[in-house]
Structure 1
Amino acid sequence: MAAVTTESLASVQKELAPTLAQADLEVARELFAVLDVLDSSAGLRRSLTDPSREAGDRVAMVRSLFGGKVKATTMEILDALVSRRWSKERDLGDAVETLAVVVVVVQAEREGLAGLEKLESALLDFRRTVASSHEVQRALTDAQATPEAKQKLAAQLSPEAGAEARLLIDRAVTSPRGLRPAQLIERFIEQIAARQQRWIALVTVAKELDPSSVQRLGASLDRYFGRELKLDVVVDPAVVGGIRVQVGDEVVDSTMVTKLNDLNRRLAS
């Protein structure tokens, strides 16, 4: 992914974090529907990613197409996306897909890490089932089969899937965007795995902690990060003392090694 696209996607996700956190599955469905429109029209993709057009013009265009047809939340997401610059025309569609999946994953995340694991498990089970049968693979990639037929088969293969998993599985079998369904499922799983890191605290300490200390630490970290975390405690004598905690991209480091390195940098400056 080119730097311009990477930066645009990151900035949109940061800007829209509160919006994405409140969005429901209908928003995800609408984003996927918009993606279908984008994928069907090269001219529209060019117009909405044309760097010579003012951002306001691109926003006006996307509103003329989808305004009043989608929820306000969906429209807010689209406005933010088309106002950014993208390295390639297709990158805009990829970004719409990414945010649609984020909305689905956030829904599952409302049950905490268990919700994410449930969603991931459903997708993994479906992928394994498909991979184990050439007949199923042919059926799901048959150009003559209707989307409804593929959805029906997918439902038979994944009867325990919840609403979030069902939406992503249906998407993979009906609109894989040039991929095989299992490949798109794998891409969805990668997004879920990345999101799970927000719920796992990698804790590095100099020596083993007793169970009561781990429990107290866990309670303190839950309060600090504002969510219930799963602790992964690693003992590394090299840290000398203190503790290092990483949750996703957030790092809290109070180890002696870090303090000494900071002191050395200040003395050398």
Structure 2
Amino acid sequence: MRGEASRISDRASRDSMAARLKDAGERACRIGRELFDITALLDGNPAIAAALTDPSRPVDDKSAFLRTLLGDKADPLTAEILTDLVKRKWSRPKDIANAVEDFGVDALMYYADFTKSTLKVSIELAQLHSSLLNLPVVRSKLYDDLATPEARVKLLRELLANSGFDQVTMILAEHGTANLRKRRYLATIQWLIRKLSNHMGESMITVTTATPLTPEQMHKLVALYTAKLQRPIHINSVVDPAVLGGMRTQVGDEVTDNTVVNQLRHLEGHIKATA
């Protein structure tokens, strides 16, 4: 959990750079990749993160150190974003890596906007999430910290070889396994889906069913929750055969579970309580 200073710095920096990233067009893809590389560098080298966030160190000194790290190969906007971040206050050194990752996701979302593929990326990430629910062995290998990042990425590419997924979907999916950041892989994908939903100005409703929703069911759910919440919504359809039947919906922290497996749990609990 980030401290107050880090939350303020992260939000202020991203707000100040949003228009620049939005206007980056095709360059935004490269910028996103570079920011993910920097995230991995900071995660793997706590001393560097500490040097870039040290409040006792002059800003000019930190900026000079940053320029040395980047060299002359990074996109100028990547350098500008990172320079803005090192000028701000951070609760903990590791929080700057979180902010860099946030910027990387932002850059790729803006690139998806540029290529008109934002909704496609969101749907594909939801499809990946659903697929992995039924592949527990593969899922565990994608966040196996004993395997190398290269091995995990290779496994993911083999899994998605014939998926036809968008370039942005692949970059985000690969980032989630290349740099684990102490997260389970499905949690990272779910986080990315939420960010895309927020980016599109929609509220995300996660609906879990044993079989895929039909177009008619999707339409009814969209109409129902749009009227209920009075704002655009995006259905994140999760297919999990383990629920057996029925439907579980999650809106923010509110969960309504009408699945068969949940009803069976309640029945089992009732029988034990009355036995």
TM-score, normalised relative to structure 1: 0.69
Equivalent position of 1:84 in the other structure: 88
Equivalent residue of 2:112, what SS?
helix
| Residue in structure 1 matched with residue 180 of structure 2 by the alignment | 176
Work out the CA distance in 2 between the residues paired with 1:144 and 1:2.
Answer: 30
Equivalent position of 2:253 in the other structure: none
Q: 1:89 to 1:132 in 2, by over 3 A?
A: same
Q: CA deviation at 1:38?
A: 0.8
Partner of 1:17: 18
Contact 2:143 2:180 survives alignment (8 Å): no
Structure 1 residue aligned with 2:262: none
The Cα shift of 1:69 comes to 2.9
Q: Is the 8 A contact 2:202 2:231 kept in 1?
A: no
**Cα distance in 1, alignment partners of residues 149 and 40 from structure 2:** 13
Per-residue deviation, residues 25-68 of structure 1 (Å, max 9, x unmatched): 11111111111111111111111111112222211111111131
User: Amino acid of the residue matched to residue 106 of structure 1?
Assistant: Y
What is residue 138 of structure 2 aligned with on the other side?
A: 136
Corresponding residue number in structure 2 for 1:105: 109
**Compared with structure 1, are the counterparts of its residues 108 and 4 closer, same or farther at alpha carbon in structure 2 (3 Å cutoff)?**
same
- Report the counterpart of residue 38 of structure 2 in structure 1: 34
Structure 2: state its 5+ residue gaps: 204-224, 233-275
The structure whose Rg is larger is 1
CA contact (8 A) 1:108 1:116 kept: yes
Greater relative CO, 1 or 2 (CA 8 Å, sep 6+): 2
Distance of 1:176 and 1:131 partners within structure 2: 18
SS class of match (1:183): helix
SS in 2 for 1:76: helix
- Counterparts of 1:244-259 in structure 2, within 5 Å, are none
Q: 2:59 aligns with which of 47, 55, 60?
A: 55
Structure 2 equivalent of residue 263 of structure 1: none
* Residue identity (%): 26
1:182 partner amino acid:
L
Aligned partner of 2:5 in structure 1 is: 4
Deviation of residue 153 (structure 1)?
2.5
For normalisation by structure 2, the TM-score amounts to 0.68
Amino acid at match of 2:5: V
Q: 1:58 to 1:10 in 2, by over 3 A?
A: same
SS of alignment partner, residue 46 of structure 1: helix
Number of matched residues? 207
Alignment of 1:137-156 (within 5 A): 137-156=139-158
